[in-house]
Structure 1
Amino acid sequence: MRDALSLSDQDLVEQIKAGEDAPFEALLERYRDRVYRLVVSFTKNPADAEEVLQDVFLTVFRKIASFEHRSSFSTWLYRITVNTALMKLRSRGPVQESIDEYLPQFTKDGRHARMVVDFTQGPEKLLLRKEREQVLREAIEALPPDYKVVLVLRDLEGLSNEEVAEIVGASVLAIKARLHRARLVLRGRLERYVTASGAQS
């Protein structure tokens, strides 16, 4: 097992294809925590995350013979993870909140139809840190799954637009659009919170 852990992903995959078991254990050891962390950021439920984690590695075990190295192993694994997590999220039922209400609306002369809250003056002064974090967590949780996945992979996991596009199976332009809309939703939720907090004080 120690020898297997020192091998590259590509070498491990080739050994698995040749019928060896230890390399799969090494891949599992190498990626288990990363996959679990990613899934928890989608599901927000440790029990669901454990179930998705098992499904992901079962899928990898079943399909690894068809892996062709057209992308890196980690990208292929993330794609399986995202698809499995999305199936779990969709099985919960539809998201109640529409993102359309957070998209910019303009008057006929091209001005914003509603007031835009200025966050440049330091949101720490506007919100207590814990409250703001809670509002953001709730806003991320309320995103439709396709937007949530892109936001988590791009902003929380730090992947590039190109990597996210490959994982999700969409164009870079589509990823940028989903990310922009997801960020608009988060901003809209924060604006509502700030406006409501200001009205109460």
Structure 2
Amino acid sequence: MSQSITVSWSTVDANFPEASVQVDKLSNHDLILRCQVGLRPDRAAFAELLRRYQSQVDRVLYHLAPDWADRADLAQEVWIRVYRNINRLQEPSKFRGWLSRIATNLFYDELRKRKRVVSPLSLDAPRSVDDGEMDWEIAGDTPGPEEELTTREFYEQLREAIADLPEVFRTTIVLREIEGLAYEEIAEITGVSLGTVKSRIARARSRLQAQLQNYLDA
């Protein structure tokens, strides 16, 4: 799917001694705690953290912006922010959700700066909502020029609508509808209850459907 993106140490301040323990033997929880020691993570611990979680960043950004040529730059910025702010993470068990939020928010920050971008979602997906589930499945027939133009307009509006959602709604809807994660997985990643996840997704879908109703009725 997506290729792993290597983050250069020249972009971060890594002037700290190597870890005196075998960081590759640490649990994820202990590795994150290790990265929180001192003003900045030591190089070995952070390199191991990046190795373990780079695929998650790649996956989030791939689904959001599969055709962006500079997606690697966005991934680089994700890890720079992690490096600079990991000490602010109070609960290591919530690292995955914290990381996904950084990646998602960086994408939408960048999206707002661009006047024209390539759609992060498949242009062949039908515009339908069934029992609250937004359907991104690929349609069987090839759309004609007029239908394709309408579909592009729909996804431009969809991107803007998602970007305008409050952060908590935006993160959960991206994890559910774009990453395809189960409710239970999202609850674990974001560190909230299953009921809260379902409520946030339902409210996000309601907002999106209201903003896109003209396209959904077409």
Alignment-derived partner of residue 91 in structure 1: 113
Contact 1:42-1:85 within 8 A present in 2 as well: yes
Secondary structure, in 3 states, of the residue corresponding to 2:42? coil
> TM-score, length-normalised on structure 2?
0.55
CA–CA distance in 2 between the matches of 1:137 and 1:94? 12
Contact 1:35-1:53 within 8 A present in 2 as well: yes
CA deviations 1:123-152 (Å, max 9, x no partner) are 9xxx52555xx8878744541224575433
1:15 equivalenced with 2:37 (yes/no): no
CA–CA distance in 1 between the matches of 2:173 and 2:113? 20
**What amino acid is aligned across from residue 14 of structure 1 in structure 2?**
L
The structure number with the bigger radius of gyration is 1
Aligned counterpart in structure 2 of residue 52 of structure 1, from 65, 74, 93: 74
Cα drift, residue 48 of structure 1: 3.6
**What amino acid is aligned across from residue 128 of structure 1 in structure 2?**
G
Unaligned runs of 5+ in 1: 96-116, 193-201
CA–CA distance in 2 between the matches of 1:6 and 1:141? 45
Contact 2:98-2:190 within 8 A present in 1 as well: no
> TM-score, length-normalised on structure 1?
0.59
**What amino acid is aligned across from residue 202 of structure 2 in structure 1?**
K
Of all paired residues, the percent bearing the same amino acid is 28
**Larger helix proportion, structure 1 or 2?**
1
Alignment-derived partner of residue 35 in structure 1: 57
Cα drift, residue 67 of structure 1: 1.7
Unaligned runs of 5+ in 2: 1-18, 118-127
CA–CA distance in 2 between the matches of 1:164 and 1:140? 27
Cα drift, residue 58 of structure 1: 0.1
CA–CA distance in 1 between the matches of 2:129 and 2:54? 41
Query: More displaced, 22-31 or 176-185?
Result: 176-185
**What amino acid is aligned across from residue 47 of structure 2 in structure 1?**
E
1:128 equivalenced with 2:147 (yes/no): no
**What amino acid is aligned across from residue 86 of structure 2 in structure 1?**
I
Alignment-derived partner of residue 4 in structure 1: 23
Match runs of 1:37-186 below 5 Å: 37-69=59-91, 71-93=93-115, 128=140, 131=143, 139-140=154-155, 142-143=157-158, 144=161, 145-146=163-164, 150-157=172-179, 158-160=181-183, 162=187, 172=197, 173-182=199-208
